[in-house]
Amino acid sequence: MSETVDHSEEELRVFIKSFAEILKVSKDSLYAETVEDNNVKAQDLTAESIKLIQLIYAHTTKIGIAFRPPVSINAAYAQIKEISQYFFLLVSLVPLFQEDPKFSKFFVSELKVQVSKLISTYTNFLKELGELNFTEKADASTSNSVDHRLVSIGITWDMCDGLKKLILGGNLELLKENLKQSIALVDDAFEEFGEWIELPEKCDDTDPFGFNGAEEDDDDDDASENGDDKDDSEHIDPQLLSMAKKWHSKVKLIKLLLSSLSKSLPTDESGIKGADLEKFNQEQDHLIGLVDDLVSSFFTWSPIGDVQSYADEIVEQCKNLIEMVKMLNKGDDSKIKWLKIWLERFVEN
């Protein structure tokens, strides 16, 4: 039978401080390029991570209660010691995700970001604990609840929930979230593109943010007084403007494609390599970059040949993404039936 060790207030404060310092250092180990051992299978890795996150969540609550005034030194010390072990185990598991071929790079990257944020939040939490008056007397507001000054408790709960959702969702759910972000970017481009078509003023590609606008305003006023004021739209290549109107509609179709791609992804990622999902994510991201380049080329009145080059590349990129969805679904044509119809409409318009 183990003996109970009594700890002093000073020992508790020193332990809190040392734990916080070790947590800061442990963030660096999240980005280790190699790991010594990887005997944990993907299923076990996921299960163990979820278990540790749930334990961190639960013990954060217990710590909040243990540190309500007056602080129970021994109970608080025991809770801090226990949760420190859970954190170190969680941090040690993270590099294993990047060694497992099941997980994509974009998933591992997001996992590291979220665990890093959790560590930062907990470091702040420990700072709050260290600033408490351990001998303060309890009152009616603190006797039966977590100390409301410990605001990091709620943040920690939210982050634990987010981490759990990320790990349970895996590559596919995160990929769908990435596609949602891409849809939002295309939607913004569509709106700006439409506004430009209504008033096709030439943007200065050397001063895209209009930093020289103030100086040019005076020149514009002088030109207006001399009767030299002319509408930029009078000088735009009619062929370029016609092409812009055509591609404005196509950009809207690209937004529809991204939504359809998300719905056409497999529902089960078992048997799918993380590298294949990583490639798909990179390619959809590249499509967004091409759309941005295309729209920008219209804004700057680029030569028709340059604009057409972006347009052709976008068509090929859309075809490529559709084929990748077919591959991810192991050749199941039923999953891409609607995508084929979309492609026919996209190419013919």
What CATH code is carried by the domain that includes residue 301? 1.20.1410
- Distance between CA atoms of 240 and 336, rounded to whole angstroms? 33
129 and 202 in a single domain? The answer is no
Q: Tell me if 227 is assigned to some domain.
A: no
Higher pLDDT, 29 or 264: 264
179 and 145 in a single domain? The answer is no
46 and 127 in a single domain? The answer is yes
Residue with tokens 């997980």: 103
Residue with tokens 């735009």: 236
pLDDT in tens, 277-333: 999 999 999 999 999 999 999 999 999 999 999 999 999 999 999 999 999 998 788
Q: Tell me if 159 is assigned to some domain.
A: no
139 and 43 in a single domain? The answer is yes
Q: Tell me if 217 is assigned to some domain.
A: no
136 and 241 in a single domain? The answer is no
89 and 17 in a single domain? The answer is yes
What CATH code is carried by the domain that includes residue 100? 1.20.1420
Structure tokens at 95: 């590099």
Determine the pLDDT at residue 348. 84
13 and 142 in a single domain? The answer is yes
181 and 284 in a single domain? The answer is yes
Q: Tell me if 181 is assigned to some domain.
A: yes
Rounded to 10°, the helix 73-99/42-66 angle is 160
Q: Minimum mean pLDDT among 48-52, 177-181, 235-239, 311-315: which range? A: 235-239
Total domain count, the chain? 2
Q: Classify each residue of 53-77 as buried b or exposed e, where b means 16 or more C-beta atoms within 10 Å of its C-beta.
A: bebbbebbebbbbbbbbebebeebb
186 and 314 in a single domain? The answer is yes
Query: What share of the chain has pLDDT > 70, as a percent?
Result: 83
316 and 200 in a single domain? The answer is yes
Distance of CA 108 to the CA centre of its chain: 11
Q: Tell me if 204 is assigned to some domain.
A: yes
* DSSP per residue, 200-263: -PPP-TTSTT-TTHHHHHHHHHHHHHTT----GGGTS-HHHHHHHHHHHHHHHHHHHHHHHHHH
Q: Tell me if 218 is assigned to some domain.
A: no
> What residues make up the domain containing 259?
175-210+232-348
Q: Tell me if 139 is assigned to some domain.
A: yes
Q: Minimum mean pLDDT among 4-18, 148-162, 214-228, 244-258: which range? A: 214-228
pLDDT in tens, 190-247: 999 999 999 988 776 555 444 455 455 555 555 445 544 445 545 788 999 999 999 9
140 and 191 in a single domain? The answer is no
Q: Tell me if 164 is assigned to some domain.
A: no
Structure tokens at 327: 């591959």
Contact in structure between 121 and 113 (CB atoms under 8 Å): no
184 and 143 in a single domain? The answer is no
* DSSP per residue, 89-147: HHHHHHHHHHHSTTS-HHHHHHHHHHHHHHHHHHHHHHHHHHTS-TTPPP-TTTTTS--
